[in-house]
């Protein structure tokens, strides 16, 4: 078993003003506890020795000793033979972190229930026309078998051109069309990973990716994100300490935080990945959804680390009902990907591929219309939260479809139960955590709801938050289902 560690010099800046609390040991213990509960200090991480932390903080040894003792008493610290003091979660068991795949649920609730789980939008204008034009093309393919394991040549060419335009030279033979981006991840995992291989994932991250990788036999390892995004030094340390076979990353409007990794960090991360011979698996599902039309997007991470498999899909930019995604990979990995794909399915639907090819020809107009709807709903949500729940904290995302909200207290799961009683369906932060925690966080999508619906949702959230804080019992409701 690989045990990760954090040095005293890295831990101290994360503690904030912990020692200003009286007594100091309690402030230190509370600060470490919150780091563990939020997932910023993953369970299983070896903490600095009492001596090293004492020296780094400039406090008495007694302060650190008592803080560690309190953390052990509360279940947030464990002593392991040969590993020293290791971060833990109370009552932590192996099954605790076997997350459940998230399921789209937008059509199963009655009209009074507001679904704030699904980070997807309805079909854009022009979808029917695209299908009509696709139907005119379809007869050309009916004389064949209909199996296209790599995808239609026309669609692969259009996708390759798009990558080239973005600064990553690509030819159609580097593209495989799949039945969605998640299917692309499943193909990639089957092709490149063996049972027990470690995979580094940002935490928080997309829950279905966690579950897909676990079910492939991989062992997820958390890379905690800072409030403002990525700590490349921490990523480099995690790569060196855990030696993962692959790293699943969402650098473009990260789900759920909305953060965008700048080019300089991509270059540094690419260097770190290359240094440990780690394959990059990059999810670009949200790459088209910048909120500022003038934002200059960084080059794809694969431009900095050639041994990267890039996943994309039509569900966020266009419509989830298309069920078309793609893989862009270096040529040397394509044979393994093709072999793996043939064990899962024999190709994406021809009609949907033709429709997507048509829609890609109108991408700029569709994305502009998408952006206007997204930003309008985002602004309505932000205004309502600031008015009714000003104590909730969040960073304004640069793109994507959701806010990642930090709650004043670790009540995400109780809040979701209380919100269900109030007619709002939510997904708790814990569902997005790779190794537990995230009970102080909540994902709130903004996907085209009318402003009056947003206002009503936040009004109900405010009532549910009061319920959760007062621990008022709520009846058992629906399980949160998201996409």
Residues forming beta bridges with residue 85, ordered by sequence position: 79
Confidence at residue 111, expressed as pLDDT on a 0 to 100 scale: 60
Q: Are 259 and 403 in contact (CB under 8 A)?
A: no
Mark which of 363, 383, 414 sits at the end of a domain: 363
**What is the distance between the alpha carbons of residues 322 and 336, in angstroms, rounded to a whole number?**
26
User: For position 51, which CATH number holds?
Assistant: 1.10.10.10
Q: Is residue 386 part of a domain?
A: yes
| Interaxial angle between packed helices 50-57 and 61-73, expressed in degrees from 0 to 180 and rounded to the nearest 10 | 130
**What is the distance between the alpha carbons of residues 312 and 314, in angstroms, rounded to a whole number?**
7
Closest CA to 313 of 285, 292, 290, 337: 285
**What is the distance between the alpha carbons of residues 16 and 423, in angstroms, rounded to a whole number?**
37
If asked whether residues 273 and 418 sit together in one domain, one would say no
Residues forming beta bridges with residue 450, ordered by sequence position: none
User: For position 441, which CATH number holds?
Assistant: 3.90.1150.10
If asked whether residues 394 and 407 sit together in one domain, one would say yes
User: For position 356, which CATH number holds?
Assistant: 3.40.640.10
Q: Is residue 185 part of a domain?
A: yes
If asked whether residues 169 and 83 sit together in one domain, one would say no
Domain encompassing residue 375: 105-123+365-471
Q: Which residues of 426-458 are buried (b: 16+ CB within 10 A; e: fewer)?
A: bbbbbbbbbbbbbbbbbbbbbbebeeeebbbbb
Q: What is the mean pLDDT of each run of 10 residues along the chain (483 residues)?
A: 75 78 84 78 85 90 90 84 77 46 53 82 91 96 95 97 97 97 96 96 95 94 90 94 96 96 97 97 97 96 97 94 96 97 94 97 94 94 96 95 94 89 89 88 87 92 93 44 45
Cα dihedral 30→33→38→44 (10° resolution)? 160
Q: pLDDT tens digits, residue range 160-205?
A: 999 999 999 999 999 999 999 999 999 999 999 999 999 999 999 9
Q: pLDDT tens digits, residue range 79-134?
A: 766 668 888 877 654 333 444 555 555 454 456 888 888 888 889 989 999 999 99
Confidence at residue 471, expressed as pLDDT on a 0 to 100 scale: 63
If asked whether residues 350 and 410 sit together in one domain, one would say no
Question: 372: exposed, middle or buried (C-beta count within 10 Å: 0-12, 13-18, 19+)?
Answer: exposed
Closest CA to 115 of 416, 463, 376, 472: 416
Indicate the number of domains in the chain.
3
Q: Are 393 and 405 in contact (CB under 8 A)?
A: yes
pTM of the model as a whole: 0.82
Those residues with Cβ within 8 angstroms of residue 262's Cβ, 6 or more apart along the chain or in another chain: 298
């Amino acid at each position: 078993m690989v045990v990760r560690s954090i040095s005293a010099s890295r831990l101290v800046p994360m503690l904030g003003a912990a020692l200003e609390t009286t007594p100091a040991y309690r402030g230190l213990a509370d600060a470490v506890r919150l780091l563990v509960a939020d997932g910023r200090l993953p369970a299983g991480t070896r903490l600095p020795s009492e001596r090293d932390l004492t020296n780094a903080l400039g406090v008495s040894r007694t302060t650190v000793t008592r803080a560690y003792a309190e953390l052990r008493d509360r279940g947030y610290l464990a002593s392991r033979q040969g590993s020293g003091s290791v971060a833990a979660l109370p009552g932590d068991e192996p099954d605790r972190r076997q997350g459940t795949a998230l399921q789209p649920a937008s059509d199963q609730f009655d009209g009074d229930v507001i679904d704030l789980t699904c980070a997807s939008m309805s079909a854009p204008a022009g979808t029917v026309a695209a299908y009509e034009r696709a139907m005119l093309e379809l007869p050309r393919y009916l004389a064949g078998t209909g199996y296209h394991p790599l995808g239609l040549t026309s669609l692969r060419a259009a996708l390759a051109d798009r990558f080239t335009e973005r600064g990553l030279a690509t030819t159609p033979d580097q593209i495989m069309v799949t039945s969605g981006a998640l299917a692309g991840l499943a193909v990639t995992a089957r092709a490149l990973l063996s049972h027990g291989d470690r995979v580094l994932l940002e935490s928080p991250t997309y829950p279905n990716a966690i579950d897909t990788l676990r079910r492939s036999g991989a062992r997820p390892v958390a890379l905690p994100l800072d409030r403002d995004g990525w700590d490349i030094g921490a990523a480099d340390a995690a790569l060196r300490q855990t030696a993962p076979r692959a790293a699943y990353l969402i650098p473009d409007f990260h789900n759920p935080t909305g953060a965008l990794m700048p080019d300089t960090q991509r270059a540094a991360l690419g260097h770190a990945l290359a240094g440990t011979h780690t394959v990059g698996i990059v999810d670009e599902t949200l790459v088209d959804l910048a909120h500022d039309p003038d934002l200059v997007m960084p080059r794809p991470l694969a431009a900095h680390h050639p041994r990267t498999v890039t996943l994309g899909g039509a569900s966020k930019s266009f419509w989830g009902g298309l069920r078309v995604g793609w893989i862009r990979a270096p040529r040397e990995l394509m044979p393994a990907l093709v072999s793996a794909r043939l064990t899962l399915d024999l190709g994406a639907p021809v009609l949907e591929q033709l429709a997507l090819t048509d829609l890609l020809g109108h991408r700029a107009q569709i994305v502009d219309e998408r952006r206007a709807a997204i930003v309008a709903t985002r602004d309505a949500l932000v205004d309502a939260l600031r008015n009714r729940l000003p104590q909730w904290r969040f960073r304004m995302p640069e793109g994507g479809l959701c806010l990642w909200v930090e709650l004043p207290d670790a009540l995400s799961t109780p809040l979701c139960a209380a919100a269900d009683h109030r007619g709002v369906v939510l997904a708790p932060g814990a569902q997005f955590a790779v190794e537990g925690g995230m009970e102080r966080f909540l994902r709130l999508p903004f996907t085209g709801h009318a402003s009056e619906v947003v206002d009503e949702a936040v009004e109900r959230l405010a009532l549910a938050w009061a319920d959760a804080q007062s621990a008022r019992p709520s009846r058992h409701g629906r399980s949160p289902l998201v996409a």
